[in-house]
Structure 1
Amino acid sequence: MSLWTVHPKYLDKQGLISLWREGLLAQKVLNGELDVKLSNPIWQQFRQAENPLKAIGSYLSFVAAEGARRGYKFSHEKIIYPNFEDYEIPVRPQDLIFEMKHLRDKLKLRDREKWNETSQVEKVEAHPTFRLN
């Protein structure tokens, strides 16, 4: 499962659509609809949140908002608890930097325009559901 801690604005179309789908899958697992064992560290952060479904709902709401900004039609009604609350799931700065480098490597191969755009970023922003610690 690929849930990104970087802000969704950095993702290309393929990445944003994949993130939406992965987030919906995570929501199903958290809601007990799927019995899947996931070991991704970000996934574990959601499981440990005070209210995991609201936390993933916030995550998905921000992803859907980025999609809407770009003109995509993500089905907001698929979010069990849509909200824009700040859950402040902790993420280390070095993890955010590593993840941005990983994303830029992907963008270099599949979306040169987005790759060029992200190369201008001096300070990487986290997804609004996360906070740097």
Structure 2
Amino acid sequence: MRLWSLHPSLLDRQALTACWREGLLAQAVLLDRTKGYTKHPQLDRFRVHPEPVVAIAAYLHGIRDEATRRGYRYDASRVHLPDDERTRGVTPIHVTSGQLDLEWRHLLHKTVERSPDQYRELLRVGRPFPHPLLVVVPGGVEPWERAS
């Protein structure tokens, strides 16, 4: 499961689609609708949030917004809560600068061969920035990260 901390506009098609599917799985876990992935470390940042279900809905709406911008059709009805004042006003989640940098390098590595146009665009952008739900704070890689 990879719930990217990076802004969805930085993700190539494969990463965006996988993030949507995995975000829906994370939502199912947080709603106690599945027995799988319940101990996945990437869910930790949502579990410690004061409103985990609202936070994952806001996260998914951010992914869907980017998909819509690109002309993809991600079904908003699959998100447990609507894109409204509650999800737009949810308390942000902190992500460390070290985590964002690690994910940036990981995405660059993934896109260099599978999405060369996106890779060139990432090089042009030159730096990572976070998903709209996240706020960057100084620090190393997050404790929940399992990627090397």
TM-score by length of 2: 0.85
Partner of 1:2: 2
Are the structure 2 counterparts of residues 98 and 54 from structure 1 closer, same or farther at C-alpha, using a change threshold of 3 Å?
A: same
Instruction: For 1:21-32, list aligned pairs within 5 A.
Output: 21-32=21-32
- Of 75, 92, 98 in structure 2, the residue corresponding to residue 94 of structure 1 is 98
Q: Which 5+ residue runs of structure 2 have no aligned equivalent?
A: 138-148
Partner of 2:145: none
Partner of 1:63: 63
Q: Distance in 1 between matches of 2:113 and 2:120?
A: 12
Q: Quick check: 1:112 aligned with 2:116?
A: yes
CA shift, 1:86, in A, is: 4.6
Moved over 6 A (4+): none
Partner of 1:46: 46
Deviation string 1:49-105 (CA, Å, 9 cap, x unpaired) is 111110000000010000000000000011111333353111111110111010010
Q: Distance in 1 between matches of 2:5 and 2:75?
A: 22
TM-score by length of 1: 0.94
Q: Distance in 1 between matches of 2:125 and 2:119?
A: 10
Q: Which 5+ residue runs of structure 1 have no aligned equivalent?
A: none
Q: CA RMSD in A?
A: 1.2
Aligned length: 132
Partner of 2:77: 77
